């Protein structure tokens, strides 16, 4: 189905929500969410809604780069697959696009994956960016640059949902994405969200405890919200996405309260997978409970030489999920690697 179909009727629930939302920036997201079968936000995430092509063109013209990116706008006319998601993690974007760390220009890496996704013949239902959006200390100008780099996806009518990592600063992010700061969230101080889609419910948690402190913390309030919201939505497979790895992975300190988190998700059998970034290491394992543990690769640099950077093409089936590794270096041996995950009973 094309992305520009006009919605017929505003559901009552949506009308109530719209009443509280003044920003046209956000209402674009709601207008698009009215499309049949499209993912609905139960709560507002840190999200960058799709933008109009006219607005995108105007901005890119101002940036004197319009002509180079204009062909990608055709993506908005392409069909969308409601069960296909682009998963990004750890882009580490600095204000200055020329910034290089561990021999990687992070802006170039993000630009490469954005171009690839925007050029796909069938566009994904949306894009997740699983934390460490900012380069190092969550500067406001880092967020201005990353939102700019992500714009071609939004112009191609893909919503982009961002979570925060230990190199992010929540207040600075909110300051840059002003419209989102005003929006009612289920938790006042964290950016938790549930995103209901045709085959899975995504639960995106905010594990940023302190900027530049490596480990993370979900916290009791967010765990209580997770348990309650999982219980209220037990009829569909659930995927939990958090920036931090559970415990200690590859020597990288992760979630401090992962034991408490797993006490919530293990017995709730609708939870099928735990997705994380933070370690800059692509890996998929399964624990004894049947939960899949998916370590998303970084968009930016790797910590171990020879490991791949890139993004994951995730396709939802009724009984599982297919993950395909898309390397930035397409000659890397991991490029195109596919992991087929079957959901636990
Ligand atoms: Zn990182």
Is 70 in a helix, a strand, or coil? helix
Within 8 A by CB and 6+ apart from 124, the residues are 80, 81, 84, 85, 86, 117, 158, 313
Q: Ligand 1 centroid vs 293 CA: distance in angstroms?
A: 17
Q: Please report where in the chains the tokens 């190092």 appear, as a residue.
A: 136
345, burial (CB in 10 Å: exposed 0-12, middle 13-18, buried 19+) = exposed
**d(C-alpha 105, C-alpha 101), whole Å:** 7
Q: Ligand 1 centroid vs 89 CA: distance in angstroms?
A: 8
Q: Ligand 1 centroid vs 231 CA: distance in angstroms?
A: 31
Q: Ligand 1 centroid vs 155 CA: distance in angstroms?
A: 26
pLDDT of 179 reads: 52
pLDDT of 49 reads: 72
Q: Residue 11, Cβ neighbours under 10 Å: how many? A: 11
The list of the chain residues with pLDDT below 50 reads 1-45, 62-73, 75
pLDDT of 61 reads: 54
pLDDT of 188 reads: 67
**d(C-alpha 37, C-alpha 23), whole Å:** 24
Q: Ligand 1 centroid vs 214 CA: distance in angstroms?
A: 9
What digits encode the pLDDT tens for the residues 75-124? Answer: 456 888 999 999 999 999 999 999 999 999 999 999 999 999 999 999 99
Note the Cα 292 to chain centre separation in Å: 18
Q: Ligand 1 centroid vs 278 CA: distance in angstroms?
A: 5
Q: Residue 33, Cβ neighbours under 10 Å: how many? A: 17
**d(C-alpha 231, C-alpha 186), whole Å:** 15
Q: Ligand 1 centroid vs 9 CA: distance in angstroms?
A: 42
Q: Ligand 1 centroid vs 279 CA: distance in angstroms?
A: 7
Q: Ligand 1 centroid vs 92 CA: distance in angstroms?
A: 6
Q: Ligand 1 centroid vs 167 CA: distance in angstroms?
A: 7
60-67 own/partner pairs: CB under 8 Å, 24+ apart: 60/151, 63/148
Contact 314, 303 (CB under 8 A): no
Domains in the chain: ranges and CATH: 12-342 (3.60.21.10)
Q: Ligand 1 centroid vs 67 CA: distance in angstroms?
A: 32
Q: Ligand 1 centroid vs 53 CA: distance in angstroms?
A: 31
Look over the chain and give the mean of its residue pLDDT values, rounded to a whole number.
81
**d(C-alpha 128, C-alpha 259), whole Å:** 25
Q: What is the DSSP string of 201-256?
A: EEEE-----STT-SSB---HHHHHHHHHHHHHTTTS-EEEE-SSPBSEETTEE-BT
């Amino acid at each position: 189905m094309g992305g520009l179909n006009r919605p017929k009727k505003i559901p009552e629930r949506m009308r109530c929500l719209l009443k509280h939302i003044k920003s046209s920036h956000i209402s674009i997201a709601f207008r698009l969410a009215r499309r049949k079968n499209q993912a609905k936000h139960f709560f507002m995430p840190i999200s960058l809604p799709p933008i109009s092509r006219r607005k995108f063109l105007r901005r890119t013209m101002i940036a004197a780069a319009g002509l180079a990116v204009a062909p990608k706008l055709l993506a908005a006319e392409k069909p969308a697959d409601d069960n296909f998601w682009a998963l990004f993690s750890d882009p580490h974007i600095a204000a200055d696009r020329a910034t290089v760390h561990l021999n990687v220009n992070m802006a170039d890496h993000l630009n490469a994956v954005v171009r690839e996704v925007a050029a796909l013949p069938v566009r994904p239902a949306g894009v997740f960016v699983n934390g460490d959006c900012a380069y190092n200390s969550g500067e406001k100008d880092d967020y201005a640059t990353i939102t700019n780099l992500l714009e071609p996806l939004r112009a191609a009518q893909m919503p982009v949902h961002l979570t925060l990592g230990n190199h992010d600063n929540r207040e600075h992010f909110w300051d840059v994405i002003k419209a989102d700061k005003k929006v009612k969230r289920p938790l006042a101080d964290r950016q938790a969200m549930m995103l209901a889609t045709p085959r899975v419910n995504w639960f995106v948690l905010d594990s940023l405890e302190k900027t530049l402190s490596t480990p993370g913390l979900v916290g009791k309030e967010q765990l209580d919200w997770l348990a309650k919201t999982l219980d209220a939505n037990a009829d569909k497979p659930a995927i939990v996405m958090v920036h931090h790895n559970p415990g200690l992975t590859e020597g990288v300190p992760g979630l401090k309260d992962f034991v408490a988190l797993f006490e919530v998700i293990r017995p709730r059998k609708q939870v099928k997978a735990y997705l994380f970034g933070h370690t800059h290491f692509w890996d998929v394992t399964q624990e004894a409970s049947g939960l899949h543990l998916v370590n998303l690769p970084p968009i930016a640099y790797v910590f171990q030489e020879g490991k791949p950077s890139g993004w994951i093409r995730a396709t939802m089936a009724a009984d599982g999920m297919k993950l395909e590794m898309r390397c930035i270096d397409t000659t890397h041996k991991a490029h195109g690697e596919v992991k087929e995950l079957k959901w636990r009973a």
